[in-house]
Amino acid sequence: MKLYGARLVLLAISFLCGCGGGLQPAEKAPASTKAPASTEQQPPNIAGNWQFTAASTLPGKGSPTLAGSISQDSDAIGGALHVQGSACFDALATMHFSGATLHGNTSLTSTAVDGQVITISGKFTQSAFSGTYKATGGCVADDQGSLVGFNIPYLANELSGGFVNSAHDAFNVTGEIAQSVNPRADGTYEISGSATFNTPCFHEGTLKSRPFPFGSYVLGASVAFEFQTSNGTLKFLGGFNKDKSAIEGNYSISGDTCHDTGTAVLHLSSPWDY
Protein backbone atom coordinates (compact mmCIF):
# COMPACT_ATOMS: atom_id res chain seq x y z
CA MET A 1 0.00 0.00 0.00
CA LYS A 2 2.81 2.45 0.75
CA LEU A 3 4.35 1.83 -2.67
CA TYR A 4 1.00 2.37 -4.40
CA GLY A 5 0.49 5.74 -2.56
CA ALA A 6 3.94 6.96 -3.53
CA ARG A 7 3.20 6.25 -7.19
CA LEU A 8 0.01 8.31 -7.02
CA VAL A 9 1.95 11.28 -5.59
CA LEU A 10 4.55 11.10 -8.37
CA LEU A 11 1.83 10.94 -11.04
CA ALA A 12 0.14 14.04 -9.56
CA ILE A 13 3.38 15.98 -9.58
CA SER A 14 4.12 15.00 -13.19
CA PHE A 15 0.62 16.07 -14.25
CA LEU A 16 0.95 19.48 -12.62
CA CYS A 17 4.35 20.16 -14.15
CA GLY A 18 3.20 19.13 -17.62
CA CYS A 19 0.10 21.37 -17.49
CA GLY A 20 1.95 24.51 -16.44
CA GLY A 21 0.86 24.32 -12.86
CA GLY A 22 4.38 24.81 -11.57
CA LEU A 23 5.96 28.07 -10.51
CA GLN A 24 6.61 30.43 -13.48
CA PRO A 25 9.53 32.87 -13.71
CA ALA A 26 8.66 36.43 -12.67
CA GLU A 27 7.84 38.82 -15.54
CA LYS A 28 10.62 41.38 -16.16
CA ALA A 29 9.58 44.97 -15.46
CA PRO A 30 9.53 47.16 -18.59
CA ALA A 31 12.42 49.59 -19.00
CA SER A 32 11.68 53.14 -17.92
CA THR A 33 10.72 55.48 -20.74
CA LYS A 34 11.37 58.66 -18.73
CA ALA A 35 13.96 60.88 -20.40
CA PRO A 36 17.05 61.52 -18.30
CA ALA A 37 17.23 64.94 -16.70
CA SER A 38 19.25 67.47 -18.69
CA THR A 39 22.65 68.18 -17.24
CA GLU A 40 23.27 71.18 -19.50
CA GLN A 41 23.83 74.29 -17.40
CA GLN A 42 21.62 77.25 -18.22
CA PRO A 43 23.47 80.53 -18.93
CA PRO A 44 23.33 83.09 -16.10
CA ASN A 45 21.06 86.09 -16.53
CA ILE A 46 23.51 88.93 -17.25
CA ALA A 47 21.13 91.60 -18.58
CA GLY A 48 21.78 94.98 -16.98
CA ASN A 49 24.14 97.90 -16.62
CA TRP A 50 27.86 97.01 -16.90
CA GLN A 51 31.28 98.63 -16.58
CA PHE A 52 34.38 97.00 -18.15
CA THR A 53 38.05 97.96 -17.79
CA ALA A 54 40.63 97.00 -20.42
CA ALA A 55 44.34 96.34 -19.89
CA SER A 56 46.18 96.39 -23.21
CA THR A 57 49.23 94.28 -24.02
CA LEU A 58 50.52 97.20 -26.10
CA PRO A 59 52.47 99.96 -24.33
CA GLY A 60 50.95 103.41 -23.95
CA LYS A 61 47.33 102.36 -24.44
CA GLY A 62 46.23 103.10 -20.87
CA SER A 63 43.12 101.51 -19.37
CA PRO A 64 40.06 102.51 -21.40
CA THR A 65 36.62 101.45 -20.20
CA LEU A 66 33.48 100.17 -21.88
CA ALA A 67 30.18 101.08 -20.22
CA GLY A 68 26.53 100.51 -21.00
CA SER A 69 23.79 97.92 -21.19
CA ILE A 70 24.01 94.19 -21.84
CA SER A 71 20.88 92.40 -23.09
CA GLN A 72 20.09 88.70 -23.15
CA ASP A 73 17.54 86.47 -24.86
CA SER A 74 18.31 82.87 -23.89
CA ASP A 75 21.76 82.19 -25.42
CA ALA A 76 21.75 85.35 -27.55
CA ILE A 77 23.66 88.28 -26.02
CA GLY A 78 23.73 91.91 -27.14
CA GLY A 79 25.07 95.21 -25.91
CA ALA A 80 25.09 98.98 -26.36
CA LEU A 81 28.40 100.26 -24.98
CA HIS A 82 30.50 103.43 -24.98
CA VAL A 83 34.31 103.37 -25.05
CA GLN A 84 35.75 105.96 -22.68
CA GLY A 85 39.34 107.00 -22.10
CA SER A 86 40.61 106.09 -25.57
CA ALA A 87 41.93 108.51 -28.19
CA CYS A 88 40.65 106.18 -30.93
CA PHE A 89 36.99 106.19 -29.93
CA ASP A 90 34.38 108.91 -29.48
CA ALA A 91 32.95 108.44 -25.97
CA LEU A 92 29.57 109.72 -27.16
CA ALA A 93 29.28 107.12 -29.95
CA THR A 94 27.28 103.98 -29.19
CA MET A 95 28.86 100.67 -30.19
CA HIS A 96 26.29 97.92 -30.71
CA PHE A 97 27.43 94.37 -29.91
CA SER A 98 25.90 90.99 -30.71
CA GLY A 99 26.92 87.43 -29.95
CA ALA A 100 26.07 84.32 -27.98
CA THR A 101 27.00 82.32 -24.92
CA LEU A 102 27.84 78.59 -25.14
CA HIS A 103 28.80 76.38 -22.19
CA GLY A 104 29.51 79.48 -20.11
CA ASN A 105 31.74 81.13 -22.72
CA THR A 106 30.49 84.35 -24.32
CA SER A 107 31.68 86.10 -27.46
CA LEU A 108 30.47 89.57 -28.53
CA THR A 109 31.46 91.51 -31.64
CA SER A 110 30.62 95.16 -32.31
CA THR A 111 29.48 96.83 -35.47
CA ALA A 112 32.17 99.01 -37.03
CA VAL A 113 32.48 102.59 -35.77
CA ASP A 114 34.92 104.68 -37.82
CA GLY A 115 36.16 101.39 -39.25
CA GLN A 116 36.96 99.99 -35.81
CA VAL A 117 35.59 96.72 -34.45
CA ILE A 118 35.86 95.29 -30.92
CA THR A 119 35.47 91.61 -30.02
CA ILE A 120 34.94 90.54 -26.40
CA SER A 121 35.43 86.94 -25.25
CA GLY A 122 35.19 85.44 -21.79
CA LYS A 123 32.92 84.28 -19.00
CA PHE A 124 30.06 86.15 -17.36
CA THR A 125 28.47 85.53 -14.01
CA GLN A 126 25.47 87.53 -12.87
CA SER A 127 27.76 90.10 -11.28
CA ALA A 128 31.18 89.93 -12.97
CA PHE A 129 33.06 89.28 -16.22
CA SER A 130 36.58 88.06 -16.91
CA GLY A 131 38.08 87.63 -20.35
CA THR A 132 39.85 89.33 -23.23
CA TYR A 133 39.21 91.90 -25.93
CA LYS A 134 40.57 92.56 -29.40
CA ALA A 135 40.17 95.79 -31.39
CA THR A 136 40.95 96.08 -35.10
CA GLY A 137 40.76 98.76 -37.78
CA GLY A 138 41.12 102.52 -37.66
CA CYS A 139 43.75 103.80 -35.24
CA VAL A 140 43.57 100.95 -32.72
CA ALA A 141 46.44 99.10 -34.46
CA ASP A 142 45.24 95.59 -33.57
CA ASP A 143 45.03 96.37 -29.88
CA GLN A 144 44.23 93.49 -27.52
CA GLY A 145 44.48 92.54 -23.88
CA SER A 146 42.55 91.47 -20.80
CA LEU A 147 39.10 92.74 -19.85
CA VAL A 148 37.31 92.62 -16.50
CA GLY A 149 33.85 93.92 -15.71
CA PHE A 150 31.17 94.17 -13.06
CA ASN A 151 27.43 94.64 -13.03
CA ILE A 152 26.03 97.87 -11.56
CA PRO A 153 22.86 97.11 -9.54
CA TYR A 154 19.78 99.27 -10.01
CA LEU A 155 20.10 102.53 -8.15
CA ALA A 156 18.25 102.56 -4.85
CA ASN A 157 15.48 105.13 -4.65
CA GLU A 158 16.40 107.36 -1.70
CA LEU A 159 18.87 110.15 -2.45
CA SER A 160 20.81 112.15 0.15
CA GLY A 161 24.10 113.98 0.35
CA GLY A 162 25.95 117.26 0.43
CA PHE A 163 27.35 119.86 -1.97
CA VAL A 164 30.40 122.03 -1.17
CA ASN A 165 31.62 124.94 -3.31
CA SER A 166 35.11 126.43 -3.61
CA ALA A 167 34.34 128.87 -0.77
CA HIS A 168 33.46 125.88 1.46
CA ASP A 169 29.79 126.85 1.61
CA ALA A 170 27.66 123.73 1.84
CA PHE A 171 24.08 122.62 1.32
CA ASN A 172 22.30 119.27 1.43
CA VAL A 173 19.85 117.34 -0.70
CA THR A 174 17.21 114.68 0.03
CA GLY A 175 14.90 113.10 -2.50
CA GLU A 176 13.43 110.08 -4.22
CA ILE A 177 14.58 108.79 -7.60
CA ALA A 178 13.84 105.84 -9.88
CA GLN A 179 16.00 104.17 -12.52
CA SER A 180 14.24 102.88 -15.65
CA VAL A 181 14.03 99.11 -15.92
CA ASN A 182 14.89 99.01 -19.61
CA PRO A 183 17.88 100.76 -21.20
CA ARG A 184 17.62 103.29 -23.98
CA ALA A 185 19.04 102.50 -27.42
CA ASP A 186 22.28 104.30 -26.51
CA GLY A 187 22.89 101.97 -23.53
CA THR A 188 21.97 104.48 -20.81
CA TYR A 189 19.30 104.07 -18.14
CA GLU A 190 17.11 107.09 -17.52
CA ILE A 191 16.67 108.41 -13.96
CA SER A 192 13.56 110.29 -12.83
CA GLY A 193 12.56 111.84 -9.52
CA SER A 194 12.59 114.98 -7.40
CA ALA A 195 14.47 116.40 -4.43
CA THR A 196 14.55 119.19 -1.87
CA PHE A 197 17.58 121.42 -1.12
CA ASN A 198 18.42 123.63 1.85
CA THR A 199 20.01 126.45 -0.13
CA PRO A 200 18.72 130.05 -0.49
CA CYS A 201 18.91 129.68 -4.28
CA PHE A 202 16.08 127.14 -4.52
CA HIS A 203 14.25 124.58 -2.43
CA GLU A 204 12.95 121.99 -4.89
CA GLY A 205 14.08 120.39 -8.12
CA THR A 206 12.85 117.82 -10.63
CA LEU A 207 15.14 115.55 -12.65
CA LYS A 208 15.09 116.32 -16.36
CA SER A 209 14.94 113.74 -19.15
CA ARG A 210 17.05 114.62 -22.18
CA PRO A 211 19.03 112.66 -24.79
CA PHE A 212 22.52 111.48 -23.79
CA PRO A 213 24.90 113.06 -22.82
CA PHE A 214 22.46 115.50 -21.21
CA GLY A 215 19.71 114.91 -18.69
CA SER A 216 19.68 112.36 -15.86
CA TYR A 217 21.03 108.86 -16.47
CA VAL A 218 23.33 106.08 -15.35
CA LEU A 219 25.91 104.64 -17.78
CA GLY A 220 28.09 101.95 -16.30
CA ALA A 221 29.54 103.42 -13.12
CA SER A 222 28.82 107.02 -14.21
CA VAL A 223 25.78 108.88 -12.87
CA ALA A 224 24.36 112.21 -14.07
CA PHE A 225 21.65 114.32 -12.43
CA GLU A 226 20.11 117.42 -13.99
CA PHE A 227 17.66 119.14 -11.64
CA GLN A 228 15.34 121.80 -13.02
CA THR A 229 14.57 124.30 -10.22
CA SER A 230 12.67 127.53 -9.82
CA ASN A 231 15.97 129.40 -10.14
CA GLY A 232 17.96 127.63 -12.83
CA THR A 233 19.51 124.21 -13.27
CA LEU A 234 21.75 122.10 -11.03
CA LYS A 235 23.92 119.59 -12.92
CA PHE A 236 25.91 116.81 -11.28
CA LEU A 237 28.22 114.30 -12.97
CA GLY A 238 30.09 111.68 -10.98
CA GLY A 239 30.79 108.02 -10.43
CA PHE A 240 30.77 105.35 -7.76
CA ASN A 241 33.68 105.42 -5.36
CA LYS A 242 35.93 102.39 -4.93
CA ASP A 243 33.68 100.46 -2.55
CA LYS A 244 30.49 101.67 -4.32
CA SER A 245 29.18 103.17 -1.10
CA ALA A 246 28.71 106.66 -2.58
CA ILE A 247 28.68 108.67 -5.80
CA GLU A 248 31.35 111.38 -5.94
CA GLY A 249 31.62 114.10 -8.54
CA ASN A 250 31.29 117.74 -9.51
CA TYR A 251 28.29 120.02 -9.78
CA SER A 252 27.38 123.37 -11.27
CA ILE A 253 24.43 125.70 -10.80
CA SER A 254 23.36 128.10 -13.52
CA GLY A 255 20.33 130.31 -12.92
CA ASP A 256 18.87 133.77 -12.80
CA THR A 257 20.53 134.75 -9.52
CA CYS A 258 22.61 131.71 -8.53
CA HIS A 259 25.85 130.57 -10.13
CA ASP A 260 27.97 128.05 -8.27
CA THR A 261 30.38 125.15 -8.79
CA GLY A 262 31.92 122.61 -6.47
CA THR A 263 32.01 118.96 -5.44
CA ALA A 264 29.36 116.62 -4.08
CA VAL A 265 29.10 113.28 -2.31
CA LEU A 266 25.74 111.58 -2.77
CA HIS A 267 24.30 108.43 -1.24
CA LEU A 268 21.58 106.14 -2.54
CA SER A 269 19.66 103.80 -0.28
CA SER A 270 16.43 101.84 -0.08
CA PRO A 271 13.72 102.36 2.57
CA TRP A 272 14.08 98.63 3.27
CA ASP A 273 17.76 98.96 4.19
CA TYR A 274 18.41 98.39 7.87
All domains of the chain in start order, with CATH:
48-152 (2.40.128.120), 158-269 (2.40.128)
Average pLDDT over every residue of 17-41: 47
Confidence bin at 40 (pLDDT 50/70/90): low
pLDDT for 167 equals 87
pLDDT in tens, 63-100: 899 999 999 999 999 999 999 999 999 999 999 999 99
Which helix (H) or strand (E) element contains residue 133?
strand 128-136
pLDDT for 8 equals 34
Residue 45 DSSP class: -
CA dihedral 214, 217, 220, 222 (to 10 degrees): 70
CA distance 267 to 244: 10
pLDDT in tens, 97-130: 999 999 889 999 999 999 999 999 999 998 999 9
pLDDT for 14 equals 42
CA distance 170 to 210: 28
Which helix (H) or strand (E) element contains residue 209?
none
CA distance 171 to 160: 11
CA distance 88 to 45: 32
